[in-house]
Amino acid sequence: MEKRTTNKFSLPRAAAYAVAAAVIFLSGWGLGSGRIILNGNQIFRKSVQKGLPANLDYTSVEQVYDTLKRDYDGQLDSQKLTDGLMSGLAAATGDPYTEYLNKDAAKDFNDQLNGTFTGIGAELSKDAQGNLTVISPIAGFPAEKAGLKPKDVITDIDGTSTNGLSISEGVNKIRGPKGTTVKLKIVRGGTQELNIDIVRDQITVASVTTKTLDGNIGYIQISRFADDTSGLAQKAAADFKQAGVKGIVLDLRSDPGGLLDAAVNVSSLWLPSGKTVLSERRDNVVVRDYPAKGNPVLAGIPTVVLINEGSASASEITAGALHDNGAATLMGVKSFGKGSVQQLEDLANGGVLKVTIAHWYTPKGININKEGISPDKEVKLSDDDAKNQRDPQLDAAKAMLIQP
């Protein structure tokens, strides 16, 4: 989850972005490793660090620089050297969600948050072993069509190993002009090696889609929690309420996350004002509770939330909030498991630092980081189901809602 200090979808001054692939950069729609979750409020945070000097001693750094400048047989770029220093500081935390983004990467980040970019349409993260991993391919776009799946480990990009690459570096290698091809070598399930060629395309992702299913059931699919999600979801809720639907399916499958405010607003469509949506903890101490904002137009309407291994961050917050408050039944398979909060702050050079500042917990005090949220009813979707356009998870949700 990521946070920011403004409610605009731009890179703000002294801002905090919080997305999470998230960050959650996508290989084309880069929300990055942290999954993007942002909110519009800044909280004073007391440092939890102990024993660190007030400032770093850069004597040896200057020595390395002087030696490179004097002896390196090649052309050096001062900006790249500076970027390398800041990348190294962030990487030294050992946290895959803490990362330095240079000016170009920061611009890409902002562009991608707006939902239009050129790439393959798959979000990347890193697993516990530091491998570049697919969080989720975006439905209907090149990565999914080529067969990429959540949890696939990308070992090579265009014949070059991904070992040691940051998420943003992996994203940059995968992205490219529309119509060009990127060659990925992946490992699936720990043993199966596959080579997948994917043609890049323009990716435009709608954050909310709706329809009415058989049996007068309202269906809301959220592909990411974006700047327009709250308004679109509120309109859908009002329309379904007026139509007198007998149930709601909230489809958060393969939703990598997005704005924290949007997750709170969507949850508030079911939860009365004041009900806890999530709690944020720093050094295991609660620093803030996020309550529902009222106007629960869908309260009391039977609801099923669909989740899968690609549901992360803001989608997990929403699923956890509705589940823990008894407002919905969760169905599908265990979610991704992204329970930390990232803040992105603008730097003077145009770059951005993304740093883990806290962890979030469900209303019942559960941190799903690395564990994910388990559904109340597990329903799997096989490769054969997907190939033949069957959706047993949605079918099970409809069956539960239309039963007498």
Lowest-pLDDT range of 311-320, 340-349, 354-363, 391-400: 340-349
**pLDDT mean over 54-70:** 92
Query: What pLDDT sits at residue 132?
Result: 94
Query: What pLDDT sits at residue 42?
Result: 45
pLDDT tens, 313-344? 899 999 999 999 999 999 999 999 988 888 87
Whole-angstrom distance, CA of residue 107 vs CA of residue 204: 17
- Higher-confidence residue: 57 or 70? 70
Query: What pLDDT sits at residue 256?
Result: 85
Query: What pLDDT sits at residue 14?
Result: 25
Query: What pLDDT sits at residue 56?
Result: 86
Domains assigned to the chain: 131-203 (2.30.42.10), 205-278+290-338+372-402 (3.90.226.10)
Residue 361 pLDDT level (bands cut at 50, 70, 90): very high
Q: How much of the chain exceeds pLDDT 70, in percent?
A: 86
Residue 1 pLDDT level (bands cut at 50, 70, 90): low
Q: How far is CA 77 from CA 80, 83, 359, in A?
A: 5, 10, 37
123 within 8 A of 256, measured Cβ to Cβ: yes
User: Does the pLDDT of residue 291 top 60, yes or no?
Assistant: yes
pLDDT tens, 10-37? 222 222 222 323 322 233 333 333 344 4
- Higher-confidence residue: 117 or 219? 219
pLDDT tens, 132-174? 999 889 878 999 999 999 989 999 999 999 998 988 899 889 9
Residue 114 pLDDT level (bands cut at 50, 70, 90): low
**pLDDT mean over 186-200:** 95
User: Does the pLDDT of residue 399 top 70, yes or no?
Assistant: yes
**pLDDT mean over 251-258:** 90
26 within 8 A of 113, measured Cβ to Cβ: no
User: Does the pLDDT of residue 7 top 70, yes or no?
Assistant: no
Whole-angstrom distance, CA of residue 297 vs CA of residue 18: 28
- Burial (CB count <10 Å: 0-12, 13-18, 19+), residue 272: middle
Contacts of 72 (CB under 8 A, 6+ apart): none
User: Does the pLDDT of residue 92 top 50, yes or no?
Assistant: yes
Query: What pLDDT sits at residue 38?
Result: 44
User: Does the pLDDT of residue 223 top 50, yes or no?
Assistant: yes
User: Does the pLDDT of residue 350 top 50, yes or no?
Assistant: yes
Q: How far apart are the first and last CA of the chain?
A: 39
User: Does the pLDDT of residue 243 top 80, yes or no?
Assistant: yes
Sort strands 377-378 and 329-332 into parallel, antiparallel or unpaired.
Answer: parallel
**pLDDT mean over 89-106:** 90
Residues with catalytic function? 313, 324, 338
Q: How far is CA 252 from CA 220, 282, 334, 400, in A?
A: 9, 27, 12, 17
Query: What pLDDT sits at residue 198?
Result: 97
Query: What pLDDT sits at residue 33?
Result: 32
